[in-house]
Amino acid sequence: MRSRTFQVGVASLALASLAGCSTSSGSSGGLLSSRPAASTPYIAALQGGMVGRSGVTVSSSDRSRALEAEYRALEAAAVGQPIQWTGRGVSGQVTAAAPYQVGSQNCRQYKHTINADGRDVIARGTACRNKDGTWTPLI
């Protein structure tokens, strides 16, 4: 009977640790999270994001990973918490600053560090959250 209790405890511990995992795309929430990935309209609203303005050439799938990380950092990351993403031969991390108000909108400055070909490219920007939940970069 005692070994059965131990096995249930180990299974519970394993499930709890999986809940804190993150995917290789850098999204947070873990394997058991019910939060879906950002949808296409939310990513499109970023207008290419900082990765699009960095001068680094990335594939469309890597660009999607990078934009997903930008959205996650702006939408839900704690101040200074890096949201990481990894692609094929390129990776990066997005770190957002504290939100602030501009009129009726919440805005955040953020930094996107992109590592490609063994060098880091740092792009900085600001985006403001719209009523529909999308983020629009200030250019």
Beta-carbon contacts of residue 23 (< 8 Å; ≥ 6 apart) = 31
According to the model, what pLDDT value does residue 37 have? 54
3-state secondary structure 3-35: HHHHHHHHHHHHHHHHHCCCCCCCCCCCCCCCC
Could you tell me which of 126, 77, 132, 133 has the C-alpha nearest to residue 102? 126
User: Is 41 in contact with 130 (CB distance < 8 Å)?
Assistant: no
Q: What is the mean pLDDT of residues 99-122?
A: 94
Tokens standing for residue 126: 């600001």
Q: How far is CA 74 from CA 4, 63, 103, 118, in A?
A: 45, 16, 18, 26
User: Is 81 in contact with 95 (CB distance < 8 Å)?
Assistant: yes
Give the tens place of pLDDT for each residue, 29-84.
333 333 445 578 888 888 888 888 888 888 999 999 999 999 999 999 999 999 99
